[in-house]
Amino acid sequence: NCDKLFELLDTFGESNRRKREQQKRPQETIDSVARNIMDELNSLVEAFDKIDVKYRNTGRERSNPMWAKRVAEKDQLTDKMYRLVQKVPDSFPSTTYLISQSYERQTVALQRIRYTRDPLNLDLVCYMLLNSPSNFLQTRIMYTLAEILRNCDYRQLIQCQQTLLEYFPPSNTSRSRTKSQLLELDVESKFFNSFSGIEQFRISKLFVIRNHRLFKQFEDYRSELGKRGQLRLVYHGSSRECLRAIAENGFLESKKLKKMIVSDLKSHNSKVLDKGYFGCGIYQGFSADYAIYYAERYKQSDEIILSAVLSGRSYTVKKAGEKISRICEPGFDSHISPEAKEIVLFQSAQVLHIFIIRFVRVASAQIVEEEL
């Protein structure tokens, strides 16, 4: 009996040993893949160094024909880095790479942050923008900021804006153009500059919307549009409850609305005002006061939502009623109202919500001329 017991114990021990080995193999495989990726990244870092050595005496000045060639070679390596960092594990030491003395390793970290769109390292990225002597690295920092900006909270947006205001790239560079585009996300300026009438309002509160699911949906649709994927900022007025439902779930498309009964609409804080004079879709206004008019008149609300939309190819409606309750014009992605005050989108993926703006009406002030 003892011999049989020892035999059973040996069998059980051998079985456990095999199980442990099988469990180790997947982890060993993962570790091996991660090591290979890190080795490839290090090879790209070394290739960067070789480019700098290769163009040590040429390609440093923008007026030199070799400058474009040098930048193009670095861009190719950076694109390879971006593809590789998508495969590294979550434990990738981005911060260690960011604070490295090597511009090339810093470039690797920037590609990882650009991919994850994580504003966790925003302080370091902003510091690098103001202090890096490398024009190439500054360009990459700007691209990274552009990617992560929509994942930032209001405090981080203000921090980014302050950094950009202190950053002075040459006016004829892509860095300067990117700076201008990023600064355009100044919500308060956009709000006031969009007014089409003479009534005055001010922002009393701003709510930042962070919805990763809708962001991914929006980016996927933008990729499908390709060159037609240009952004436009628009406004929509509704009740506080409805705007929060929109921020969480996005807009309901017309085909879904048609299937919903009145009780379903109420549960979604939704109501169909009309059949849609310029098409049966999602209506947005180009001016804040136009959205405020709808919010106040139809919803007795003091809030509107600011969104980025992908208009794609827009069909301009000739007159009201031409496209009443109609789907999108074939070959187009959106409709524009005859007076160009509204845009009609037909897919919720075309809209990315950025801020909910609470406004207050301000009494018109008398204009007083001042002597210069």
Rounded to 10 deg, the angle between the 2-54 and 65-85 helix axes is 170
Residue 358 half-sphere exposure, CB side, CA atoms within 13 Å?
8
For residue 368, pLDDT over 50 is answered with no
For residue 163, pLDDT over 50 is answered with yes
For residue 203, pLDDT over 50 is answered with yes
pLDDT score recorded for residue 121 = 83
The type of residue at 310 is L
**pLDDT mean across residues, the chain:** 80
Residue range 54-60: average pLDDT? 74
Residue range 343-366: average pLDDT? 85
Confidence of residue 173 (pLDDT cuts 50, 70, 90): confident
DSSP H or E segment with residue 314: strand 314-316
Q: What is the DSSP letter of 313?
A: S
Q: Which of 55, 89, 365 is nearest to 202 (CA)?
A: 365
Sequence-distant (6+) residues with CB within 8 A of 270 are 242, 245, 252, 257, 260
Confidence of residue 92 (pLDDT cuts 50, 70, 90): confident
Select the more confidently predicted residue: 59 or 142.
142
Residue 319's CB is within 10 A of a number of other CB atoms, namely 9
Select the more confidently predicted residue: 294 or 321.
294
Select the more confidently predicted residue: 332 or 208.
332
pLDDT score recorded for residue 95 = 79
pLDDT score recorded for residue 6 = 46
Distance CA 114, CA 111 (A): 5
The separation between CA 363 and the C-alpha centre of its own chain, rounded to angstroms, equals 36
Least confident of 98-112, 198-212, 300-314: 198-212
Sequence-distant (6+) residues with CB within 8 A of 268 are 245, 249, 252, 260
For residue 81, pLDDT over 90 is answered with yes
For residue 198, pLDDT over 70 is answered with no
Residue 68's CB is within 10 A of a number of other CB atoms, namely 11
Rounded to 10 deg, the angle between the 154-166 and 122-131 helix axes is 10
Confidence of residue 230 (pLDDT cuts 50, 70, 90): confident
Token pair 């700098």 is found at 52
The tokens describing 40, both together, are 């490839």
pLDDT score recorded for residue 27 = 46
pLDDT score recorded for residue 257 = 56
Distance CA 329, CA 315 (A): 7
pLDDT score recorded for residue 176 = 86
The segment with the largest mean pLDDT, out of 18-22, 178-182, 309-313, is 309-313
Q: What string of DSSP letters covers 27-76?
A: HHHHHHHHHHHHHHHHHHHHHHHHHHHHTSSSS-STTSHHHHHHHHHHHH
pLDDT score recorded for residue 185 = 64
Confidence of residue 21 (pLDDT cuts 50, 70, 90): low
Q: pTM of whole model > 0.85?
A: no
Residue pair 120/151 in contact (Cβ under 8 Å)? The answer is no
